[in-house]
A and B are shown apart, each in its own frame.
Chain A
């Protein structure tokens, strides 16, 4: 892009539209083969040699086909061990090699960080370059970047298996799903992505902090490290935990417009490919396309709002200055920043290339709402698809009644048990979010974390809990989160926001797996039509809108309308 702007003939708008067009083209080209690859991987009966070795190591039966309680128990067991190991890692850093001299992380911060990376949130209460050594970054955090994404993918696939099951009650093996998504999907893609990022100029080495004397004669400490390798899975796995505190705004993580576009592509590519994998697995590509259309439509709408708000510099201060460039990198500009911000908040990635706190009130509010939608447009790796399917089931419940049938999705009836699980799913994240905010507002000391007062301060707090409860991990900034209260509370919000929905989804998979599917007729609600997609999108918006409208009206809305 830089060469284009150098030519001086391209306006910001043209350049912005061009990169969105390029991104869409890339996604359109890749989502079919990648989706099919994921579907093939997760349904194949063959095991690779390296996978067999892993199963022997884990002592699991590679050909087991389990019911949902076993699957759920495996997920919970695996994640608990992951949290404990990562916690130990962070607390014992001082005794480990490659620590760059950093010691143990404080207790609540270590809890927060361990939960954050295992839940695929990657909320960073610490500052990477001033708290963590290379070993913890690589063997602790990056490993969880892979595994937490693999867990999400596994659970999504388990739900799809439940939907296509012909009454066998089983939904697959968690261990096989975990190993396969890591070995056959995430690792090869991450390797490819890391090489591409290196080519765009992202740094990769094992040096520590180096002191430089700047041109002006001052001194500056510059930290190097294995950045490209972590950056690749940070985006691909919709993790978002940056090597540096500045995340993708840092020139070592995201040096230029090309790397920026590549990173946006990487963080969108798996979530946008999963509807295709879903369509392939259920044997009806139009089902996948409908889900994709809802995800893509809402992503596009939100992108339009944020880009419009930022490029038109809405609000008093931006108007006075003439642009909304505060908190944005000059090398990216408003268009690329809005594109990154929308994509990162809609995929539960949480990486940032600009400071969301400094966005216009409307733009920032849109980013907040993006997360409140429940991270389904397209959402995180796996979690986006299963969240969207749960909302599709709710849509089917309302729509199915309106066509005079007891509701069914893909031939599976939605009865008492199924709707109870869906209802609890929809309740879980708002509960973690709103209760967290209410508790935080109730204490004077916890209120002081907000660096701003008035509606903007409330937006900061709302953003923090929305980010944690929806496992996004991005920060609004302007918010002092590294206190024992916030480390603990946000850690709890992340834990609830990840595992309660995840377990409900597995229970739902089990409930569907027990049913034999019914044939579709012209009397069945069609779930692959424009009408259904419209209703589905409306349900996504209405569920979040009705829950959060009061809170939003006191935060971003009050600010935007001022």
Chain B
């Protein structure tokens, strides 16, 4: 699979699968295997470069402490000092390992994309009307026109300005079915590296070499384009200041220790400092950010900035297009309304007969409805000898069948748009009863589409009844919107339908608000209005006229099938062009923030146990009564300090999978989430190290010179 999807990815609640039943679902991610740790070790060692370490203040302090302790251990060697030194360095390497593993996962994806971006040749049309010339794809500049024919690779990102072609975009989207690309309209964008399967198109190049969509994708999945996001910077500042607080506490402890008659060795003070500063979250912070982007990529969404991913967690209003997101793309037969004097079974029979030759989804839905509700099995062609099928065309807007009757007569059955069938009935010399006219009217005002069924037997035409087609709300959408409401997110359905139709569907789907007969200007105005109330807005769009709204939205997701203007305006691109993706994007954004918060809380809560391990160990010889603080009953002062530092290092590795996967997230209210996470990561963070340090101490105390 030459897609940016990692093997073993499970995609939750995709478009095909009925979304969210009431049961909470989990935003899962690619499997993490311990082998990745080993494979990333060389990278982790390379990251010991001070120029790299200085970017993470917490880990830089650990590295400086480790270097200082190494010098002291060399000049005054002891088993204890060397064990501490080794574990301090291991702490730094483990932190690098977290980042290296996260980056390594992206690199495999980047490698497959690189093949796509490799150089090809292009057939450039010179300005004016000269003969086309062969150039390298890297020589193309925005504005150049190139010709691409069946079997050739599109040399760069651009818009089709002439022709129509089917294009294989599987190299980028992973979707093997070819798509149509044509000049004009909202299907004009082509991506460099994709292959034209049929016909000939002329493309105007829009991207500079090295700045194409695929190039940006590679940079994103590799993490090389990763910039720290606002919240990550803020958290880093908090971590740095906590580090300073503990540095202050440890440095000023020495004069007090001297006064108390128990000066401490620098190695012990460094060990205390490293245990207290928030190394867990400091080590995992960048891995969490990389993994968050990675989770999006696994769902075939490319975020152009980490800022957008964070914003996704904050989204307060979702603008959702009706068609394809809330309702199935096509209208479906909902009920049969017989004309006066017509038996319902007769209408059902006629409706089925007239739809056998109608391959449109609407036509098929009639056959399905008749079979399900009226017990009429769809007849195969062989069962109707002598029948002539009249297929549906856009011109006649009717479909039907001509059947031979007893004698020489012909029974013509027709079904189609009300106006078309009415005209046909009149032409055949029949009458349209007033009740049928009213019925058609009612179906229309209720937001449905009326199809009229009629027959003509030996020049006697009559209307049999009306088929009510309506928009079908996707299964599970109501529950999904309820979850969103619980998360504090307002949903607004956007549709070109009239107000009444829109309201009917909105009520059925359970969205909070409707923007009917929406124009691009109104969409933009709605976004601005929501934003002025302090809400962040997310939307998805594909057309050029969506571009202003996509740019204005805080999270603007452009569909990959959309125009390049839309892709430029948005800050994410969904390769699957699946409108329900917005909901997943919001969940991933939230999960990213929760993971940061949970691990920060865990990291700080850990300090309680570490104090109870180290402080008694440092001063128990002067103040034997402090042994009462040694609640874990650690064997010796040395083993207590070593156990704390070993726990501190191991917990980083133990939490790498969690950092990459993200903490469990169930869509629920903030109050419920807070209670759960405080309990798990706050209280858990206090208790876990007591157990962990004690277990490590049982092992460590067997080492001679320490135990």
Contacts and interface: CB of A to CB of B under 8 A. Distances in A.
B336 to A, nearest CB: 43
B333 interface: no
Given A441-B258, A516-B534, A531-B675, A419 B238 contact: yes
B307 to A, nearest CB: 10
A404 B673 contact: yes
Interface string A421-459: 011101100110011011001100001000000110110
A404 B629 contact: no
Nearest to A515: B534
A195 interface: no
Interface stretch (A261-269, A307-315, A547-555): A547-555
Q: Which of A431, A524, A546, A551 has the most CB of B within 10 A?
A: A546
Nearest to B676: A402
Contact of B607 (A419, A516, A523, A546): A546
Interface string A402-429: 1111100001001110111011101100
Nearest to A532: B674
Q: Which of A415, A531, A547, A550 has the most CB of B within 10 A?
A: A550
B515 to A, nearest CB: 19
Majority secondary structure of chain A interface residues (helix, strand, loop or mixed): helix
Contacts of A553: 615-616, 619, 626, 629
A139 interface: no
A497 to B, nearest CB: 14
B593 A401 contact: yes
Interface in A508-562: 516-519, 521-526, 529, 531-532, 534-535, 538, 542, 545-551, 553-554, 557-558, 561-562
Contact of B597 (A400, A521, A522): A400
A258 to B, nearest CB: 41
A493 B488 CA distance: 46
Nearest to B614: A550
B574 interface: no
B597 A399 contact: yes
A200 to B, nearest CB: 43
B677 A518 contact: no
Interface in A348-405: 394, 397-405
Given A401-B600, A405-B670, A546-B246, A416 B234 contact: yes
Nearest to B536: A518
A401 B236 CA distance: 13
Contacts of A535: 674, 678, 682
Interface string B644-664: 000000000000000000000
Contacts of B598: 401-402
A415 B307 CA distance: 13
B625 interface: yes
A561 B234 contact: no
Contacts of A419: 234-235, 237-238
A502 to B, nearest CB: 18
Given A400-B597, A406-B313, A416-B230, A519 B535 contact: yes
B488 A402 contact: no
Given A400-B597, A402-B597, A553-B615, A561 B237 contact: no
Interface string B215-253: 000000000000000110111011011101110111111
B593 A406 contact: yes
Given A419-B237, A523-B669, A550-B249, A399 B628 contact: no
Nearest to A546: B607
A434 B250 CA distance: 10
B314 A415 contact: no
A351 to B, nearest CB: 29
A67 to B, nearest CB: 22
B600 to A, nearest CB: 6
A557 B681 contact: no
Nearest to B678: A535
Contacts of A400: 597
Nearest to A454: B260
Contact of B600 (A398, A418, A516, A538): A398
B593 A561 contact: no
Contacts of B314: 405-406
B245 A547 contact: yes
Contact of B590 (A404, A437, A521): A404
A437 B252 CA distance: 8
Contacts, number: 217
Contact of A554 (B244, B257, B313, B316): B257
Given A404-B593, A553-B615, A562-B625, A523 B255 contact: no
A434 B615 contact: no
Nearest to A434: B252
A484 to B, nearest CB: 20
Nearest to A414: B234
B674 A546 contact: no
Contacts of B237: 416, 419-420, 423
Contacts of B244: 427
Given A516-B534, A558-B625, A521 B248 contact: no
Q: Which of A426, A435, A438, A535 has the most CB of B within 10 A?
A: A438
A557 B249 contact: no
Contact of B256 (A441, A516, A526, A549): A441
B487 A554 contact: no
B535 A402 contact: no
B10 to A, nearest CB: 21
A523 B682 CA distance: 20
Interface string B352-385: 0000000000000000000000000000000000
Nearest to B242: A423
B245 A430 contact: yes
Q: Which of B230, B233, B245, B607 has the most CB of A within 10 A?
A: B245
B236 to A, nearest CB: 9
A561 B670 contact: no
A518 B681 contact: no
B241 A426 contact: yes
A406 B590 CA distance: 9
A424 B241 contact: yes
A379 to B, nearest CB: 20
Given A550-B249, A551-B252, A558-B623, A519 B534 contact: yes
Q: Which of B241, B591, B616 has the most CB of A within 10 A?
A: B241
A423 B314 CA distance: 23
A45 B656 CA distance: 57
B259 A447 contact: yes
A423 B244 CA distance: 10
B601 interface: yes
Contacts of A534: 678
B605 to A, nearest CB: 8
Contacts of A423: 237-238, 240-242
Contacts of A529: 671
Contacts of B626: 553, 557-558, 561
Interface string B492-525: 0000000000000000000000000000000000
Interface of B: 230-231, 233-235, 237-238, 240-242, 244-246, 248-260, 272, 276, 310, 313-314, 316, 485-490, 532-535, 589-591, 593-594, 596-598, 600-601, 604-605, 607-608, 611, 615-616, 619, 623, 625-626, 628-629, 665, 669-671, 673-675, 677-678, 681-682
16 contacts: A402-B678, A416-B237, A420-B234, A423-B241, A430-B249, A434-B249, A437-B256, A438-B251, A442-B255, A523-B488, A546-B246, A546-B611, A547-B248, A547-B249, A554-B256, A557-B629
Interface of A: 394, 397-406, 411, 414-416, 418-420, 422-424, 426-427, 430-431, 434-435, 437-438, 441-442, 447, 454-455, 457-458, 516-519, 521-526, 529, 531-532, 534-535, 538, 542, 545-551, 553-554, 557-558, 561-562
Given A415-B234, A416-B233, A532-B674, 10 more contacts: A401-B598, A416-B234, A424-B241, A435-B252, A457-B259, A519-B535, A550-B611, A551-B249, A554-B256, A557-B626
By Cβ-Cβ distance, the 3 closest A-B pairs, closest first, are A523-B488, A401-B597, A518-B534
